[in-house]
Amino acid sequence: MPRDMVKDVGLAHQYIQQRIGARRPKIALLLGSGLGDIANDLQDPFTINYAEIDGFPIPGVAGHDGQMVFGKLEGVDVVFLKGRVHAYETSDFQPLKTLLRSLQAFGIETLFTTSASGSLHEDMPPGAIMAISDHINMMGINPLLGPNEDDFGPRFLEMSDAWGKDTRQTLLDCAQNLNIKLHEGVYMGFRGPCFETHAEVNMARILGADAVGMSAIPENIIANHCGLNIIGCAVITNLAAGMLPEKLSHDQTLAGAKIARDDLSRLVKSFVKAL
């Protein structure tokens, strides 16, 4: 039997609000593969495990802890989401919908996502960060398939500014002030879990993509549907398949994420303060 989304979101919202007390974050930051350590920068942290909340997603991939960590960053109340469930782990998007719609229900206005990604350009190497300006969905899925849930958003979703142009400009300004080279480009999402073939990488270039990955797009669609402002960064952990002789692996992804950690942490702190 399908779950009652309105009930699940209401109960999740109520539980979270009771646990966090007077904290009132307006910004949530979703940390991708190997990026969870950035949450260590929080002052006065308070953790809620996804598993505590009925209907929330439970990640099953290394580098995704499955935790909401509340605290202050540069004096601003925020919540870090440590980990995601990828589309290659499940075809059930109800838990992801419950998570993101619960954020909106307890007052989150802006969602900042980060995603470990492969670069399609040699001048955007491991350790680089790319602000996502747009995306191409090659996952073959859409989390809004099926009956529309009218309590949360429209049947036909307008996506011409899917990645928050105005808010992204704030991020670009922060990067410039910090002397961090922040690339900007199009993210192409594949469902995975296989890394892309050489032919798929060539196709991505031809179609106008600058980076590839296995996440970001489902949460973008759901966030836009329920009215969250969303921006995102593709954190470059490797060059795409065929650009270098070595084979791709998840260990390589985690190692590449560590290279970007310091710049991403500084950028996030500046952005939160500016926003």
Three-class HEC string of the chain: CCCCHHHHHHHHHHHHHHHHCCCCCCEEEEECCCCHHHHHHCEEEEEEEHHHCCCCCCCCCCCCCCEEEEEEECCEEEEEEECCCCCCCCCCCHHHHHHHHHHHHCCCCEEEEEEEEEECCCCCCCCCEEEEEEEEECCCCCCCCCCCCCCCCCCCCCCCCCCCHHHHHHHHHHHHHCCCCEEEEEEEECCCCCCCCHHHHHHHHHHCCCEEECCCHHHHHHHHHCCCEEEEEEEEEEECCCCCCCCCCHHHHHHHHHHHHHHHHHHHHHHHHHC
**pLDDT score recorded for residue 164:** 96
From the candidates 12, 68, 87, 116, which is the catalytic residue? 116
DSSP string across 153-179 = S-SS---TTTT-HHHHHHHHHHHHHTT
Higher pLDDT, 251 or 63: 251
116 is annotated as an active-site residue: yes
121 is annotated as an active-site residue: no
Cα 70 from Cα 99, distance rounded (Å): 15
260 is annotated as an active-site residue: no
The phi, psi pair for 140, rounded to 5°, reads 75, 15
Note the pLDDT tens digit of each residue in 146-169: 999 999 999 999 999 999 999 999
Domain residues of the chain, as ranges? 5-274
Q: Regarding the domain delimited by 5-274, which CATH topology (the fold level of the hierarchy) does it fall under?
A: Rossmann fold (3.40.50)
255 is annotated as an active-site residue: no
Tokens 């300004």 belong to: 173
Note the pLDDT tens digit of each residue in 11-25: 999 999 999 988 999
64 is annotated as an active-site residue: yes
Residue 138 reports pLDDT greater than 50: yes
From the candidates 250, 255, 265, 274, which is the catalytic residue? 250
130 is annotated as an active-site residue: no
250 is annotated as an active-site residue: yes
Q: Which of 112-126, 177-191, 249-263 has the highest mean pLDDT?
A: 177-191
**pLDDT score recorded for residue 1:** 42
Question: CB of 197 within 8 A of CB of 241?
Answer: yes
Q: How many CB atoms lie under 10 A from the CB of residue 158? A: 8
**pLDDT score recorded for residue 195:** 87
Global confidence as pTM: 0.92
